[in-house]
Amino acid sequence: MSSIARITTISARSETSFEDAVRNGVERAHATLRGVSGAWVKEQKIEAADGRITAYSVILEVTFVLDD
């Protein structure tokens, strides 16, 4: 059996951690897209103020299998 997948790029942000940003992104993608099978963290960055990290952001490449 073969399948066809599509990859879409999304960004996600968290004030807690990179892990939380990834989790938020994957959960949101799953709520919108059917067949989410994985994600690749393409980019990470932080926001800072007064020498402290204020937010974590990630760019995700989310893979989802297309319906037949």
Residue-by-residue pLDDT tens, the chain, 68 positions: 678 999 999 999 999 999 999 999 999 999 999 999 999 999 999 999 999 999 999 999 999 999 87
Task: Report all structural domains of the chain as residue ranges with CATH numbers, in order of start.
Answer: 5-65 (3.30.1660.10)
Place of tokens 């997948």: 5
The structure's pTM equals 0.87
Q: Which two three-digit tokens encode residue 24?
A: 């938020």
- On the CB side of 64, CA atoms within 13 Å amount to 19
